[in-house]
Structure 1
Amino acid sequence: MNFLLFSEEELSADGRTLYLSAGDRRAEHLTSVLKPKPQDSLKVGQINGNMGSARIIDITHEGYQLQVDLVSPPPPGLDLTLILALPRPKMMRRVIENIAALGVKHLILLNAYKVEKSYWQTPWLTEDTLRHHCLLGLEQAGDTILPRIELKKLFKPFVEDELPGIIGNRSAWVAHPGSERGIPDTPASMVLTIGPEGGFTPYEIGKLEEAGCQSFNLGTRILRVETVVPALLGRLYL
């Protein structure tokens, strides 16, 4: 944890004091990893708000008391809507944390032919679990703005009825192993779709192209989603 996040509700009435009880995940990290002393300063941020520093006022066996000073806005997010075929459950943690850390602010998890139905039953998709792993990604990167995550279980209605409106006048692309086009230059505003391992089916690619997406490939290697997401976003934006 490079950055301590808290909600507005955790602050005192004057908005200056934060208390972390001993059983809190963040307090346990302070105790076991950072091992701060009174008057030490930490990098902090308010979830969906500003960021700054917090000075440790007091440390007891019951927890930490910190004085918070929020002075700057969070870093800008990517002007990107990322549409991702639902990954295997065991990949979800890494994928969500990477997406949050890299600055994606709008994520759509989409069904596809190669997505097993059982994936949609995983506890990794609960609101609390998605939020938790988004927070871990933000803590890693030093950001405060949570991504907005939508779940779309029906491919055809989403692509036909919703996707054209999401694209609008933006540049829209779909990563597909069968495409002859290489990775595009980064546009000012983008809709990027990434399929399951092995790519979308020809029917799905056709529907995405009808909606306004252009296909491109990442080379000859077939990569896991957890590898493709940071590699592609790094290539486009970093």
Structure 2
Amino acid sequence: MNLLLLEQQHFIDEWHAELDQRQLRHVLNVHQASEGDELRVGLVNGNMGTGKITHLSSEIMRLEVELNTPPPPALPLTVLLALPRPKMLKRSLQHLTALGVKKIILMNSYRVEKSFWQSPWLSPGKVREQLILGLEQARDTIMPEVVLEKRFKPFVEDRLPTLVAGKLGLVAHPAGGESCPHQISRPAVLAIGPEGGFIDYEVDKLAQAGFQRIHLGPRILRVETAVTAIVSKLYD
């Protein structure tokens, strides 16, 4: 945890906050902090700054907070991610959040198992947990938007053309296409398929919506590895 992320309910008043549970355990066991120490803190969807520990016990921590630093800039990137298996989903959400992606669309694909859409890890609370972990890792405070699109064709035909209008549309695909562009300076929409990639029909539908194929070379990467590699290459 590189940033102690606060929410409005943690604040006693404008300058003082009170924490327990996961964050308190981390401060006690990992930071091994003491009263009087200062921690890096941030307010969800607000500024960052410092929090001075004024009280610390095994049950509760109180902080005197000053928030005067804006969060890092977001990437001008929307990611369409074919819904991965739950374990991979958690890592992918954390990685994308840490990289600065602020809109993530979890979409359906032929190779996405139907059972994945029933996973408890898709509940708003569980998704938020992973986003918080990504923000804490990267010292960011702005919560990404996560959208679920359970039907491929209506999404790609009816909503995606508007989403990609004026942006660079890219679909990561292991076969064909151009090498992944590097250090682009314009907004983009990136589609990443499931294990095994999008089927040809889906790649064709994405192409009709304005997407071009890209690849990272001959190696086949896991979804969470491809996510990190492509985003990092697009925006150095």
**Normalised TM-score (structure 1):** 0.96
C-alpha distance in 1 between matches for 2:59 and 2:168: 52
SS of equivalent residue, structure 2 residue 12:
coil
C-alpha distance in 2 between matches for 1:180 and 1:2: 38
Partner of 1:235: 233
Partner of 1:175: 172
Alignment equivalent of 1:226, drawn from 224, 227, 231: 224
Structure 1 residue 118 displacement after superposition? 0.6
C-alpha distance in 2 between matches for 1:5 and 1:198: 36
C-alpha distance in 2 between matches for 1:125 and 1:219: 32
SS of equivalent residue, structure 1 residue 130:
helix
Partner of 2:41: 44
Alignment equivalent of 1:208, drawn from 194, 206, 209: 206
C-alpha distance in 2 between matches for 1:145 and 1:180: 34
SS of equivalent residue, structure 1 residue 81:
strand
Partner of 2:55: 58
Q: Deviations over 1:51-110 (max 9, x none)?
A: 000001122343111100000110011001100111111211111111111100000000
AA of the residue aligned to 1:96: L
Aligned residue pairs: how many? 235
AA of the residue aligned to 1:9: Q
AA of the residue aligned to 1:214: Q
| Structure 1 gap segments, 5+ residues each | none
**Normalised TM-score (structure 2):** 0.97
Alignment equivalent of 2:160, drawn from 150, 158, 163: 163
Alignment equivalent of 2:194, drawn from 174, 193, 196: 196
Q: Pairwise mapping of residues 99-138 of structure 1 onto structure 2 (< 5 A)? A: 99-138=96-135
CA RMSD of aligned residues (A): 1.0
Q: Deviations over 1:175-228 (max 9, x none)?
A: 111123111242411011111122111110110000010111111111110111
Partner of 1:78: 75
Partner of 1:19: 18
Structure 1 residue 133 displacement after superposition? 0.7
Partner of 1:98: 95
Alignment equivalent of 2:28, drawn from 13, 28, 31: 31
AA of the residue aligned to 1:114: R
Structure 1 residue 168 displacement after superposition? 1.2
SS of equivalent residue, structure 2 residue 178:
coil
The runs of at least 4 aligned residues of structure 1 exceeding 6 Å deviation read none
Structure 1 residue 237 displacement after superposition? 1.6
